[in-house]
Amino acid sequence: MFLWSSVFSKEPQVPGQRSPEELVTNMLMLELGYLLKRTERLRQERATENRRRSSSVDYSWLAAPPQKPAYEIPAGEILELQDLCAKVSPSQCGPLIL
């Protein structure tokens, strides 16, 4: 697919080259996605452990279908987060993640 915006941009774009804002946004959104998945996994592990403690045998995993993540970020909030991430300078990306 040909990007017409690259024809009219003032900066020469090399295929595959990304702007610093785009790199920071991608990094921060990937980190947020990882944290959401990790939190969901920990929540499921705690719930499984609580079920196991409440009864001597837990066969619920046999009957239960795989659960969807309990929390998903709505599309509007993802766009807002991406706009906020684009405002972060590359030098502040690491400290922000920490």
d(CA 89, CA 11): 19
Q: What is the pLDDT of residues 9-47, one digit of tens each?
A: 555 556 677 788 888 888 888 988 899 899 999 998 998
Spatial contact of 87 and 26, defined as CB atoms under 8 Å apart:
no
Question: Which residue do the tokens 């990306």 mark?
Answer: 93
The predicted model scores a pTM of 0.57
Q: Compute CA 7 distance to the chain's CA centroid, rounded to the nearest angstrom.
A: 31
The 10s digit of each residue's pLDDT in 80-95 is 888 888 888 888 888 8
Q: What is the CB neighbour count within 10 angstroms for residue 36?
A: 15
Question: What's the rounded Cα separation, in Å, for the pair 49 and 95?
Answer: 34
| pLDDT of res. 97 | 78
The 3-state DSSP class for residue 52 equals: helix
Q: Is the pLDDT of residue 3 over 60?
A: no
